[in-house]
Amino acid sequence: FIIKVKKILECICVNCGKLKADISDPNFADKIRHIRDPKARMAVVWAHCKTKMVCETDEPKEDGAEGDADEPKKGHGGCGHVQPAIRKEGLKLFVQYKRPKDEDEDVKSMQPDKRLITPSEVYTTFKKMSDSDLHLIGLSDE
């Protein structure tokens, strides 16, 4: 059970609860289009999302740059929050934020920030998820 929770956390943004993968990305859309089995869908979405370390925001549109007559592409709508690595130790989950390389304080401070993520934080993050994101991951909205 805790491994499933960890995988779901790795698929969504820990700040806004949106899926890290963008359905308008043709590469991702092709991967999940024909998968009906929830376990297989979860595995594909997790494999795609686990490496993404930023919740992608919509790109701002340049006014009159290209003059597109068709409707604008619907964006992902992410928050831009940096995503932590999620580690499981025993029955506990830890979030581990990578330190930026430009911080030159101490050699000791090069260790990443690591803290326990509480079950209430996980529950709050899961409540933020939309029904469409739940379906994309392969979960029911109940």
pLDDT-derived band of residue 131, with 50, 70 and 90 as boundaries? confident
Residue 110 covered by a domain: no
Q: Is 65 part of a structural domain of the chain?
A: no
Q: Confirm whether 75 is domain-assigned.
A: yes
Q: Does residue 43 have a pLDDT over 60?
A: yes
What pLDDT does 111 receive?
A: 57
**In which band, very low, low, confident or very high, does the pLDDT at 124 lie, cut at 50, 70 and 90?**
confident
Average pLDDT, the chain: 73
- Does residue 105 belong to any structural domain of this protein? no
SS3 94: strand
Residue 130 forms part of a structural domain: yes
30 domain-assigned: yes
What pLDDT score does 96 carry?
A: 78
pLDDT at 58 over 80: no
In a domain, 129, yes or no: yes
Number of domains into which the chain is organized:
1
In a domain, 112, yes or no: no
Residue pLDDT, tens place only, 69-120: 333 445 556 677 777 888 888 888 888 777 666 555 554 455 567 788 888 8
List the domain range (segments joined by +) for residue 43.
Answer: 2-58+71-83+122-137
The answer to whether the CB of 55 falls within 8 A of the CB of 79 is: yes
CA distances from 109 to 22, 25, 83, 102, 105 (A): 34, 37, 19, 12, 7
